[in-house]
A and B are shown apart, each in its own frame.
Chain A
Amino acid sequence: MTGLVRGPDGPVLTDVDGGPPPSATGQLLPTDLPRSSRWTVGKPESDGRRRPVALGRMLGPVMLLLLWWVLSAVGALDPDLVPRPQDVARAGSHLISTGQFQAALLASMQRVAVGMSIGVSAGVSLAVLAGLFAIGRNLFDSNMQIIKSIPSFAIAPLLIIWMGIDEGPKFLLIAISTSVPVYVGVFGAIRNMDVRLLDMARTLKLRRSTLIRNVVLPGTAPEFLVGLRLSFASAWLALIFAEQVNAKQGLAKLMSDGRNDFQIDVMLFVVVVYAVLGLGSYGLVRMLERRLLVWKQ
């Protein structure tokens, strides 16, 4: 069947489902078909995409919550093992009213913020050095591959032995695990840069700093953002390991307190908090995407 599809320069006749092309004698299509199915004008399939969906990207999580609530309400879930959403909410509001939750959240977010700042800056810097200079590549690239293959929970005890039980090893653990994804993304982007663009830059006799700031680094933004998304995931994961030992404050402390007292509602509340934080970091990356990738349009 043929259809009128809008091409880049206006409507063009195309073969929609690979059937035989219209014959030159003018017998284009069976005339007994209803008019609407004979021709499609514009891009009808894409109409639905533009329509604002209720709740947008929160639709999935809200449906999940609803499912939990329904299963609890009909008794499919044992409330002693899986508390109802409203019980979890009550446990949460209790933690909030005592201020425990705010203190824990602040401590954990601080660890992630500091650790990630260090890790992401290190990842980008090393990627630039390794991407642009042979000596940098020889020095750092294999090391980063090694770090990539070591699970962070394997080194957590070592860091504690070496650095004590203060904030230092917590920052470092998060920094190490967040540096790898951005390094991999940015390094790959630099190695795959368009040589024609770099040739052009060479003829403009750009200073190295100008070249890095204007040509190289902004071009790595798409891969950087993919790396950053993975870094966030690593950060929250590393946080859990980092807070296993001697965290006087933090989400993992809330979790382990809940476990010790067999308060499953508290434990589930912390799980929900992790989920919200994960979603929040995803939103943050998407916001960065809109700012850093305006040129892609």
Chain B
Amino acid sequence: MVNLAPDRRVVEPAVVLDGVSRSFGERVILDGLDLTIDEGEFVVILGHSGTGKSTLLRILAGLDQEFSGRFLAPSQRSIAFQEPRLVPWRRVLPNVTLGLNGDGAQDLGREALAEVGLGTHLRAWPNTLSGGEAQRVALARAMVRKPDLLLLDEPFGALDALTRVRMQELLMQLCSKYRPAVVLVTHDVEEAVLLADRLLVLDSGRFILDQRVSLPQPRLRTSVDVQRIRADVLRALGVFDERSESV
């Protein structure tokens, strides 16, 4: 991890993107992105479908090597996807501890599952879990590795509205406790405003909005400030209907 300017910065950067580009054939998806994310910063990336949000996340996760430019990121990073992607033929606890070594792995796994409220589901099969439960296991699997960078690709996109609200609260709890840097990709503008320290809107391969959200947590979705920022973001996305929930 390179320390860019040790004497001037209070916090160190967790992620530095330097001219990151990615094309699929002729199509340029990411067009020379520069970005610095601080330690413990909660960044939410919004954008229309196909603007390369997930591609950026895959690059940060190390799953996409076909990019140009360079980036620095912590070696301890975890990712959770829209689908839980649990190993169906392993019970819940081994799913969480998969690939962890050492004597304490089992205990760490149990703790992580207790923290997401699934301390009693250690021996359940993934197929028997509800969508929300499975996604909490995926979150436990991500958090048990004590990531410095947590990557979330629409993790609540497939959940019903009530479960989504509970998952957002759980995520905020975990993040305020462990303070990883977070990059969350979502389509849900309200979710973005509620969770983000910083909002980025990706369009045509570039960031067209980079806005800090300095409202204190917890935020109420009905508060005037939240609604105002939400309207700003929707405008940046080219959506002017005040009632639309997502893009």
Contacts and interface: CB of A to CB of B under 8 A. Distances in A.
Interface of A: 196-197, 199-207, 210, 214-215, 218-219, 221, 294-297
Contacts of B141: 204
B98 A196 contact: no
A200 B83 CA distance: 10
How extensive is the interface on chain B, given as a class?
Answer: 20 to 34
Contacts of B125: 294-295, 297
Interface string B62-101: 1100000000000001110101010111110010001100
A189 to B, nearest CB: 12
B98 A296 contact: no
A137 to B, nearest CB: 22
Tell me whether chain B's interface is mostly helix, strand or loop, or mixed: loop
A214 B96 CA distance: 12
Contact of A203 (B78, B83, B126): B78
Contacts of A206: 98-99
B61 interface: yes
B85 A200 contact: yes
26 contacts: A196-B81, A196-B85, A197-B85, A199-B63, A199-B85, A200-B81, A200-B85, A202-B63, A203-B77, A204-B98, A204-B145, A205-B99, A206-B99, A214-B94, A214-B98, A215-B87, A215-B98, A218-B87, A218-B89, A219-B87, A294-B125, A295-B89, A295-B91, A296-B88, A297-B125, A297-B127
A128 to B, nearest CB: 16
B87 A203 contact: no
B89 A203 contact: no
A210 B99 contact: yes
Interface of B: 61-63, 77-79, 81, 83, 85, 87-91, 94, 98-99, 125-128, 141, 145
Contacts of A197: 85, 87
A90 B91 CA distance: 52
Nearest to B87: A215
A197 B63 CA distance: 12
B62 A296 contact: no
Contacts of B85: 196-197, 199-200
Nearest to A200: B85
A218 B98 contact: no
- Which of B62, B63, B98, B141 has the most CB atoms of chain A within a 10 A radius of its CB? B98
A200 B87 CA distance: 9
B87 A297 contact: no
Contacts of A201: 98
Given A196-B81, A197-B85, A297-B128, A203 B63 contact: yes
Nearest to B84: A200
Given A203-B63, A210-B99, A215-B87, 12 more contacts: A196-B83, A196-B85, A197-B85, A199-B63, A199-B85, A204-B145, A207-B99, A214-B90, A218-B89, A219-B89, A295-B88, A297-B127
A114 B69 CA distance: 57
Contact of B61 (A203, A214, A218): A203
A210 B98 contact: yes
Max chain B Cβ within 10 angstroms of own Cβ: one of A204, A205, A207, A221: A204
Contact of A214 (B78, B79, B87): B87
Nearest to A206: B99
A202 B89 contact: no
A37 B240 CA distance: 54
Contacts of A207: 99
A274 B141 CA distance: 50
A215 B90 CA distance: 8
Contacts of A295: 88-91, 125-127
B128 A203 contact: no
A85 to B, nearest CB: 45
A284 to B, nearest CB: 21
